[in-house]
């Protein structure tokens, strides 16, 4: 829970786009544009950031780094809550054909059902493959967790 309630009346829908390659686009929303831009830059260049390996930041690094992208306000969208902000973000996401987003910003209840039916089988296959490929790594992680709990 945030320390201060979020004022969604200040919502801004923005895009991050490559300076030369117009097809590389990410769409997001925020209530503090300057702070969000700073966070994107930090996640892109700082290896200790937890989101460093997110799709958008990997694409940015592969295409010249954060400096080769511009973050632009698409529109101000005063609203009441996160759901309204995400719904509008989703419209812009589809309109601009954003391809750097990892997930679709908003799923209606019908979309969620379809997504679940399509995603579950793929996730199960992914999980099985991950466990097989990372068998040794998972053993080491389990050992370190067990050691920590004993101390």
Structural domain that includes position 135: 109-150
In a domain, 102, yes or no: no
Q: For the chain, how many structural domains are there in total? A: 2
Asked whether residue 79 carries a pLDDT value surpassing 80, the answer given is yes
Instruction: Give CA 134 to chain center in angstroms.
Output: 24
Domain check: are 92 and 118 in the same one?
no
In a domain, 67, yes or no: yes
Rounded Cα gap, residues 16 and 27, in angstroms: 6
Domain check: are 72 and 135 in the same one?
no
Question: Which long-range contacts does 139-148 make (Cβ < 8 Å, 24+ apart)?
Answer: none
Asked whether residue 94 carries a pLDDT value surpassing 80, the answer given is yes
3-state secondary structure of 86: helix
Domain check: are 75 and 117 in the same one?
no
Burial label for 91, CB within 10 Å (0-12, 13-18, 19+), is middle
Q: What is the pTM of this model?
A: 0.72
Domain check: are 24 and 67 in the same one?
yes
In a domain, 1, yes or no: no
Asked whether residue 22 carries a pLDDT value surpassing 70, the answer given is yes
What does the pLDDT average to over 128-144? 74
Domain check: are 117 and 87 in the same one?
no
Asked whether residue 144 carries a pLDDT value surpassing 70, the answer given is no
What does the pLDDT average to over 113-129? 69
Rounded Cα gap, residues 106 and 10, in angstroms: 19
């Amino acid at each position: 829970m945030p320390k201060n309630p979020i004022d969604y009346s200040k919502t801004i829908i923005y895009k991050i786009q490559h300076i030369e390659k117009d097809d590389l686009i990410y769409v997001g929303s925020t209530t503090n544009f300057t702070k969000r831009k700073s966070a994107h830059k930090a996640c892109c260049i700082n290896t200790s950031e937890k989101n460093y390996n997110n799709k958008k930041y990997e694409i940015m690094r592969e295409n010249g780094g954060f400096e080769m992208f511009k973050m632009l306000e698409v529109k101000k969208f005063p609203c009441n809550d996160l759901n309204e902000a995400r719904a509008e973000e989703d419209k812009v996401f589809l309109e601009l054909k954003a391809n750097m987003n990892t997930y679709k910003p908003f799923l209606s209840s019908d979309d969620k059902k379809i997504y679940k039916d399509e995603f579950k089988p793929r996730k199960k296959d992914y999980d099985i493959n991950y466990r097989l490929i990372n068998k040794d790594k998972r053993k080491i992680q389990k050992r370190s967790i067990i050691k920590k709990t004993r101390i």
